Amino acid sequence: MKSSSIQSRFRKARFAGGMLAIVLTMLVTQACGAGERTISTGAAPTSSGSNSGATKASVPATLSYGYIGTSKLNYPGTAEGWGFYKGIIQEELKKYGITDIKLTAFPNGPDLSESLISGRLDFGSLGDTPAILAKSTGAKTRFITQGTTDSIGYLIGKKNGPKTLADLKGKTVTTQKGSFHHRYLAGLLKENNITDVKIVHMLRPDAEAALARGEVDAMTNTGVFALKQIDQGYPLIDDATKHPNLIGTSATVVSEDYLSKNPDFPKIWNEVRLKALNDLKSKPAEYYKFLAELNNSTPELMEKVSPISGIKDVPFTDDGIKLLEGTKKFLVDEKLAEKDIDIKQWILKP
């Protein structure tokens, strides 16, 4: 059934504040499995090893972190992933009394947000759209790091299928509802006044398979996965480089509950993250090889789609916050977010 507006389609992807507990439990359960690992940092030293005001006695020994990824290596990308992969983050957090770190991979941002809301995670890194949508429903989180501000969405057509946006009228397009992908697609269709499109929710592997079989007409994708499709002959209908206002950013958010136990965490995390970033900058070839293993790709392609220059060395930038405000405004104006939020109040700078 074709929807008459982008708004009605997107609303189905919003977080429902009154979601039944059993549904939440199912979502959390689905997120568990092969994408979860616990890393031991070893015994904490007898002294704090820093000038932090947080006393080790008040900081929980286990830290639970969620990220978006499907790699069998069970690591995120960018500076955070490198820091965990090389043991830099573990070694630094040990100084603050954190002896175990639980890493959990999620297929998309909405699933991660559900686990954060449920209390299963202490903090996580995801796209700005699902983070904003969760906050708009009252999720008790604070925004502590915007590590990247260049997430590019791609709209890929099936072979011998649509090649332009106009060709999408009356067609079926898959996206990951409630995610950065969906915000890109919704914004793109609105800008071009295209409403006669059926949008269905599919995660990337299922969508790629459906597109290959010709069961759907187009799909949204990102990064190396989109470039692989283009190389295989799938037509590129559009990408966000042509629409700077539709470029996505990342969001690392922490629960207010965890902050009450470790109020210095934003400062601690950003210092640890910066140390990992500085290390990977000194080993670019090794870093791109690491990314290639994560994404089943090549170092050359990873350098093209995920350059080190795109990783921010400060928690927030003016340009990044401007993009964030634009995304929030779109979601609120289209009544896709539950309610308006104050970005400046949400951000917690160290």
| β-strand partners of 220 | 155
Check whether residue 278 and residue 214 sit in a common domain.
no
Tell me if 133 sits within 8 A of 337, measured CB to CB. yes
| For the chain, the helix, strand and coil percentages under 3-state DSSP, each to the nearest 5 | 45, 20, 35
Q: Which two tokens stand for residue 216?
A: 């759907």
- Residue 171 has phi, psi (to 5 degrees) of -105, 175
Average pLDDT over residues 114-130: 97
Please determine, for residue 25, whether its predicted confidence score (pLDDT) is greater than 60: no
pLDDT in tens, 244-286: 999 999 999 999 999 999 999 999 999 999 999 999 999 999 9
Question: For 338, which DSSP code?
Answer: S
| Residue recorded with tokens 């140390």 | 275
Domain, as residue range, for 231: 152-246
Measured distance CA(152)–CA(306) in Å, rounded = 10
Tell me if 42 sits within 8 A of 109, measured CB to CB. no
Quickly state the pLDDT bin for 13 (edges 50, 70, 90). Answer: very low
pLDDT in tens, 283-340: 999 999 999 999 999 999 999 999 999 999 999 999 999 999 999 999 999 888 999 9
| Whole-number average pLDDT of the chain | 87
Report pLDDT for 178. Answer: 92
pTM for this one? 0.86
Question: Residue 151 CA to chain centroid, in angstroms?
Answer: 9
Check whether residue 51 and residue 181 sit in a common domain.
no
Identify the CA nearest to 199 among candidates 209, 184, 212: 184
**Residue type at position 229:** Q
Report the SS3 class of residue 67: strand
pLDDT in tens, 47-75: 444 444 445 558 999 999 999 987 778 89
Report pLDDT for 163. Answer: 97
Last residue of a domain, one of 246, 263, 292: 246
Check whether residue 333 and residue 297 sit in a common domain.
yes
Please determine, for residue 212, whether its predicted confidence score (pLDDT) is greater than 90: yes
Report pLDDT for 334. Answer: 87
Report pLDDT for 56. Answer: 56
Report the SS3 class of residue 37: strand
Check whether residue 342 and residue 196 sit in a common domain.
no
Measured distance CA(24)–CA(75) in Å, rounded = 25
Decide if 3 is inside a domain. Answer: no
Check whether residue 335 and residue 259 sit in a common domain.
yes
Identify the CA nearest to 129 among candidates 295, 247, 9: 247
Q: What is the largest CA-CA distance in the chain?
A: 66
Average pLDDT over residues 172-192: 95
Check whether residue 66 and residue 215 sit in a common domain.
no
Report pLDDT for 47. Answer: 47
